[in-house]
Amino acid sequence: MKKTYREAALSGAAEYRSKPAPLMLGIESSCDETAASVVRNGREVLSASVHTQIPVHRLYGGVVPEIASRSHTERIGAVVRDALEKAGVTLSDIDAVAVTCRPGLIGALLVGVSFAKGLAFAADKPLIGVDHITGHIAANYITYPDLEPPFMCIVASGGHSHIVRVDSYTGFRLIGRTRDDAAGEAFDKVARAMGLPYPGGPELEKLAKGGDPNAYRLHTAFNEGEGYDFSFSGLKTAVVNILHNAGQKGEQVNKADLAASFQRAVTDALTVKSVRAAREANLSVLALAGGVSANTCLRERLQRECDKYGVRFCRPDMKYCTDNAAMIACQGHYELLAHDPSPLSLDPNAASFLQEMG
Ligand code: KG4
Ligand code: ZN
C-alpha cells in the first residue's frame, strides 16, 4: 500500500540525514520579499531568487500587509521556479522544503507556508518550518563555512533587536532584547520623520555619511547601563523633538549631522552590550544578524570593539543581511538534522519563539 504523507516525510527526513550533500529548498515570505533558494548541505548556496516589493510599499511609506500578501501570492510560483532553474535542479532532485513559519505578517507568512505545504505534499518531501530570526543568524554559516555554535549573536532587524546565545544549531537563549522599538524600526521611523523614503535604514545611512556623529548627543542612560536590554524609542523621540522644535522656531537642522548622531547612538548601544555579553559568557565569537547588519557603520564599529577584546567578529555577506531564502534553507537543514519534519498542520505564527522566551 502507498505510504501516507507522514510516513513518506519521516523516511524522506531519514534519507536527508544519510546523504552526504542533501538539497534543501528554502522559501521566505514573512514581510516584503518573496524569496526562494536551493542550498546544498546547509552551507553551499546553489541559487537565491528574491522578488522585492519595496517599490510598491514605498508609495505608502511602509509595508501594507494586504498588498504584501497579494504580491507574494502572485510571485511565489515564479520565484520558486526561478530558484530551481538557477540551481539546475527539478523538484524531484530536492530532498526537503524549508519555509519561514514565524515571525512576520500573518497573511504574508500564510502564502509561503501554504505553498511549501503544497509542494512538500505533492512531491512527498519532508517539510520543515523555520523561525525567521534563527534564519538571520544562520546567514552567518553561509559566509563562514567554519563557523559553529556556541557563539553570541546580536540580531538587529526591522521587528527585533535581540542578544541571543547560540548554544547549538537549534538551541538558543535570549540574553537581551529591546524594551520598545527594534533597531531597524527606529531607523525607519527616524528616516520617515526626516522625509526619507521607506525602508529608512539604508537611506538614513546614506544621509549620515556626510554628517558629524558628534553633533548631537543622543545616548541614553538605559543603553549605557549594565543590563543587556536596549531601548530605542527614546532616541527616536529625541530626534523627532529636535526636528519639531527647529520647525517651530523656523530654524534649519543639519539633517546629515542628526542622522549621523542617531546612527552613532544606535550602533554604540548594539555594539557595547553585545560585545560585553560575548565576553561575560566567555564566548570567543560574536555574530551579527538581521537587516540592520547591512549598516556599514555598525559592521565597522563591531569589528573595532571585537578586535579590542580578541573576540572573532562574524557578519553575513551583504546579500544575505536582509530577507532572503538561503538563510531559511540553511537553518532548515540544521532543524531537519535535529528534529522530525513539521506536520502538514504547520501554522504560521506572528511572533518569534525567541519573543516567547523573553
Ligand atoms: O531583516 P530585515 O530585512 O526584515 C525583518 O526581518 O525585519 O530588516 C529590515 C530592516 C529595516 O528596518 C531596514 O530599514 C533595516 O533593516 N536596514 C538597515 C539597513 N539596511 C536595512 N538599517 C540601517 N542601515 C542599513 N544599511
Ligand atoms: Zn528579516
Please write the tens of the pLDDT for every residue from 104-119. 999 999 999 999 999 9
Distance between CA 187 and CA 190 in Å, rounded?
A: 5
pLDDT digits (tens, 9 = 90+) for 282-327: 999 999 999 999 999 999 999 999 999 999 999 999 999 999 999 9
In the predicted model, is pLDDT for residue 358 greater than 60?
no
Higher-confidence residue of 345 and 357: namely 345
Ligand nearest to the CA of 189: 1
Q: pLDDT exceeding 90 applies to what percent of the chain?
A: 95
Q: Is the CB of 323 under 6 A from ligand 1?
A: yes
Q: Mean of the pLDDT values across residues 126-154?
A: 98
- pLDDT tens column, 5-44: 999 999 999 999 999 999 999 999 999 999 999 999 999 9
Residue 270 pLDDT > 60, yes or no? yes
Residue 235 amino acid letter? L
Positive or negative CA dihedral for 183, 196, 100, 287? negative
Closest Cα to atom 16, ligand 1: which residue?
291
Q: Which atom of ligand 1 is nearest to the CA of 191?
A: 14
Which atom of ligand 1 lies nearest, measured to the CA of 104?
6
Confirm whether pTM is higher than 0.85. yes
Amino acid sitting at position 339: H
**164 with 173: CB under 8 angstroms?**
yes
For ligand 1, what atom is nearest to the CA of residue 297? 24
CATH class name, domain 149-318: alpha beta
Each residue's pLDDT tens digit, 60-75: 999 999 999 999 999 9
CATH code, residues 5-138+322-350: 3.30.420.40
Provide the 8-state DSSP code for 325. S
**Distances, alpha carbon 96 to alpha carbons 17, 131, 212, in Å:** 11, 16, 50
User: Are 169 and 42 a contacting pair, CB within 8 Å?
Assistant: no
* CB of 205 shorter than 6 A to ligand 1: yes
H-helix or E-strand containing 161?
strand 161-168
214 burial class (0-12, 13-18, 19+ CB within 10 angstroms)?
exposed
Cell numbers at 154, concatenated: 546580536
Q: Which of 187, 205, 264, 321 to mutate to test the pocket of ligand 1 (most atoms within 8 A of CB)?
A: 187
By DSSP bridging, strand 23-28 and strand 96-102 are parallel
Nearest Cα residue to atom 7 of ligand 1: 158
Within the chain, which residue ranges are assigned CATH 3.30.420.40? 5-138+322-350, 149-318
**Average pLDDT, stretch 155-181?**
96
- Classify 173 in phi/psi space as left (phi over 0), alpha (psi -120 to 50) or beta: beta
